[in-house]
């Protein structure tokens, strides 16, 4: 796809690119989601992250249709929910998402959780490989996979995931997981990049001083840190002004010393569900 000139992108192992900053619509109600996505596209976003379980794929599709932006200029991700996993159900899950989105293909299709108690994520991955071969998704990946989960699908399959989308924020930096997957060509994508409001970023020592030094908000500093780490990030907001602020992170940089300080903020503090427990 074509990323706006002022925005960074990462190259996937498929050879396609993904805008490094996108808009997420987790917990955005369907009746509000169309407005949110339209406003995001209007201010310059070209990467949208949704999921079947969010129950707002239809609204995302309406926004895309009404935006007038050529399909090839957008990067759309959706995800397969746990109940739709399995060799026989996976194709139907994507078909339903495509119908709701009003699209012929998605740019990235993810297994939402490994759901290890269900233990069908390996056969589900093989089904994703078949969908990838048909072109209904331009890339395939996973979400919330730990190294042990990745090892199983890598052993069974023939396609390396393009993305692993995981919880990642200053207090939980996923250094061990990233050291495992990134040398394999699996890019890291962050959900909850600002900690989902479950702790106060301003209480992290040094973060406020970095923000003050750059004349930026703490949230902008955290997003800039993600970008310089090479992580793909999609903060959620329903406010247009915040969307604009979140995009204002491309024309300045954190120093090497500030990046080292940011790394020291890692407290191994997970605030979301552990992948072993996401078995709904």
Hey, which residues are catalytic here? 54
Burial of 70 (0-12, 13-18, 19+ CB in 10 A): exposed
Phi and psi dihedrals of 191, rounded to 5? -105, 155
The CA distances from residue 200 to 172, 203, 219, 273, in Å, are 14, 6, 11, 19
- Cα–Cα distance between 274 and 187 in angstroms, integer? 20
């Amino acid at each position: 796809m074509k990323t706006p000139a002022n925005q960074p992108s990462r190259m996937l192992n498929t050879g396609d690119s993904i805008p490094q900053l996108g808009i997420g619509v987790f917990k955005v109600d369907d009746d509000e989601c169309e407005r949110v996505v339209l406003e995001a596209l209007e201010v310059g976003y070209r990467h949208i992250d949704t999921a079947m379980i969010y129950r707002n794929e239809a609204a995302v599709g309406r926004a895309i249709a009404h935006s007038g932006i050529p399909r090839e200029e957008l990067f759309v991700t959706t995800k397969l929910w746990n109940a739709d996993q399995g060799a026989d159900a996976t194709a139907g899950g994507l078909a339903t998402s495509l119908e709701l989105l009003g699209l012929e293909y998605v740019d990235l299709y993810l297994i939402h959780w490994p759901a290890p108690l269900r233990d069908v994520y390996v056969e589900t991955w093989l089904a994703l490989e078949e969908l990838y071969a048909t072109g209904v998704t331009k890339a395939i990946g996973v979400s919330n996979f730990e190294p042990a989960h990745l090892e199983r699908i890598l052993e069974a399959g023939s396609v390396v995931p393009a993305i692993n989308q995981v919880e990642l924020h200053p207090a939980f930096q996923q250094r061990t997981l990233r050291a495992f997957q990134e040398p394999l060509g699996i890019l890291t994508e962050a959900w909850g990049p600002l900690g989902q409001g479950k702790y106060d970023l301003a209480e992290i020592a040094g973060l406020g001083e970095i923000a003050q030094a750059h004349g930026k908000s703490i949230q902008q500093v955290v997003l800039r840190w993600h970008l310089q780490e090479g992580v793909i990030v999609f903060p959620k907001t329903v406010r247009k002004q915040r969307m604009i602020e979140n995009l204002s992170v491309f024309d300045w940089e954190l120093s090497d010393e500030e990046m080292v300080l940011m790394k020291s903020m890692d407290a191994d503090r997970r605030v979301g569900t552990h992948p072993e427990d996401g078995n709904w």
